[in-house]
Amino acid sequence: WAKAAGRGQWAVYDPERSARDIARSALVAGLPAALDRGEFVLHYQPIVSLLEGSMLAVEALVRWEHPELGLIGPDRFIGLAEETGLIVRLGEWVLRQACHDAERWWREFPDARLVVSVNLAARQADDPTIVETVADALHTSGLPADLLQLELTESAVMGSADEPLRSLYRLAALGVRLAVDDFGTGYSNLAYLRRLPIHCLKLAGPFVEGIRADNAADHRDERIVDALVRLAHALELWVTAEAVETGEQAERLRALRCDTGQGRFFGAPAPAGVITARLRGDVSV
Ligand code: C2E
Ligand code: MG
Ligand code: MG
Ligand code: MG
């Protein structure tokens, strides 16, 4: 009878919905074992100087090499890992692996001083042990603190209380860099910018997407980027534009004085070996 109620009104049984729920709960159930079996891998995406074209940093982006489903992107499991709390363990693995890889790059290519940028979920940043975990990851790997950047979203920066997370001051005191990820898409007020030891703002993809010639009639995204870059520079912060897909966008962003860019135009996320080859000066990658 549920079917007779018409499309979109299936109160009793919705095969599509339940298939999705089953797939979702199968993924959730598989996460802890996947971590134990070492099925997660890090890909790295270059963050490039818009002025000089040199690779200054790489962002660590986690992927799941699922034995049956193949490579699964973080959009499909990070949310689940946050809900279940597994993000704290997964995030710690990401942090340690990223520090380990970055220390190798630092040893092999000391002049490049390549920074590794690691995403911190709100739940991780909120965890009371985060400062010791980061300090230990640095100590164990031997990576200099200033070659590690931590990316937090605006809501993670603000935490659950109405003030910036206390642990961020202690993280900054370790000497690591702090970046605000997806800047301009959250709902938080900007008060934290007055007080927090932040080093970099990462401008969210949608603003960058609006920068193109066929959008000439509407310069709003360009004006927003212009204003945000000025705001960042007035506060002595670096600016990274995310999701740079074309040379034209890179050129416009450079004209707007944006410092660095990240996106397919400069290189897609790739295994560590691809970054090593780039540092070696292999232009074919
Ligand atoms: P994010 O931190 O904002 O990362 C940037 C995303 O933009 C990445 O998606 C990257 O692959 C994608 N991207 C790269 N180039 C382009 C481009 O030219 N155009 C567009 N439109 N997008 C581009 P990805 O790898 O799927 O990661 C998605 C999100 O998952 C990340 O967004 C981040 O929030 C989260 N994430 C990834 N790895 C981790 C992690 O280790 N820990 C935590 N907590 N979150 C992670
Ligand atoms: Mg994705
Ligand atoms: Mg990020
Ligand atoms: Mg982002």
Q: Are 134 and 163 in contact (CB under 8 A)?
A: no
Say yes or no: ipTM exceeds 0.90. Answer: yes
Q: How many angstroms does the Cα of residue 14 sit away from the middle of ligand 1?
A: 31
pTM of full prediction above 0.90: yes
Q: Whose CA is nearest to atom 6 of ligand 1?
A: 243
pLDDT for 277: 97
Alpha-carbon span 154 to 158, nearest angstrom? 6
pLDDT for 1: 40
Alpha-carbon span 268 to 18, nearest angstrom? 34
Beta bridge partners of 177: 149
Alpha-carbon span 22 to 24, nearest angstrom? 5
pLDDT for 132: 98
Q: pLDDT averaged over consecutive 10-residue blocks of the chain (285 residues)?
A: 49 72 81 95 98 97 94 94 94 98 98 98 92 98 98 87 84 97 84 88 93 74 93 95 96 97 98 97 69
Instruction: Please state, as a whole number, how many other Cβ atoms lie within 10 Å of the Cβ of residue 110.
Output: 9
Q: How many angstroms does the Cα of residue 18 sit away from the middle of ligand 4?
A: 31
Q: Of all residues in the chain, what percent are helix, strand and coil, respectively (each to 5)?
A: 50, 20, 30
| Test site for ligand 1: of 242, 246, 248, most ligand atoms within 8 A of the Cβ | 242
Ligand nearest to the CA of 94: 1
Q: Please spell the DSSP secondary structure of 201-265, one letter per residue.
A: EEE-HHHHHT-SGGGTT--HHHHHHHHHHHHHHHTT-EEEE----SHHHHHHHHHTT--EE-STT
The closest of 84, 54, 113, 107 to 267, measured between CA atoms, is 54
Cα four-point dihedral sign 260, 205, 234, 152: negative
Is residue 78 within 6 Å of ligand 1 at its C-beta? Answer: yes
